[in-house]
Structure 1
Amino acid sequence: MPFGNMGPWQILLILLIILLIFGAARLPALAKSMGQSARAFKGEMKQMKEEDASAKAEGSATDTSASGESAAQPTSDTPPSEPKP
């Protein structure tokens, strides 16, 4: 059962209390706003995962090009020639 040790009578009592607090007229609007909030949250989580994936892909591409650049630099002990004025 998803509510742990709660039995059907406890769940029914909680639903009855919610009905008394919010009223029957406001419950559909409350359910609709909760659904919209859940949808927005899910969309934001998906967007964050996509951003993380693109950042990782971008980071690995940068690492690859950085290692290629360092290999292209001269490794001799002679100093590079200075440009003439």
Structure 2
Amino acid sequence: MLRNGLEPWHLMVVVLVAMLVFGSKRLPGAARSLGTSLRILRSEARALKQEPAPHPPREPADSEPPVA
């Protein structure tokens, strides 16, 4: 059924269902909010890839016990 991937009529069905669920007045705001959320998610994922993982703190050698 989905051998060829998405076709134009798939997009029309998705838009029609979205209009039925959200209504035509709230649909632009919902799409804008979804776009903003995706943009934030991408930027956070990109920052996570660029940021090196923090190293755990080193344990002191057990040569001397701590003095109280």
Task: Please confirm whether the aligned pair reaches a TM-score higher than 0.5, indicating the same fold.
Answer: yes
How does the TM-score come out when normalised to structure 1?
0.48
Higher relative contact order, chain-length normalized (CA < 8 Å, sep 6+): 2
- Partner deviation per Cα, 1:38-76 (whole Å, 9 max, x = no partner): 111111112111212xx4xx8xxxxxxxxxxxxxxxxxx
Superposition TM-score, scaled by structure 2 size = 0.57
* Superposition RMSD in Å: 2.3
Runs of 4+ with >2 A deviation: 6-11
The SS at the match of 1:25 is coil
Question: Could you tell me how far apart the structure 2 residues matched to 1:50 and 1:18 are?
Answer: 36
Q: 1:40 to 1:19 in 2, by over 3 A?
A: same
Which of the pair has more CA radius of gyration?
A: 1
Distance 2:22 2:37 in 1: 18
Q: In the comparison of the two structures, how many residue pairs are matched? A: 51
Alignment of 1:30 with 2:42, yes or no, is: no
Q: CA deviation at 1:15?
A: 1.6
Unaligned runs of 5+ in 1: 59-85
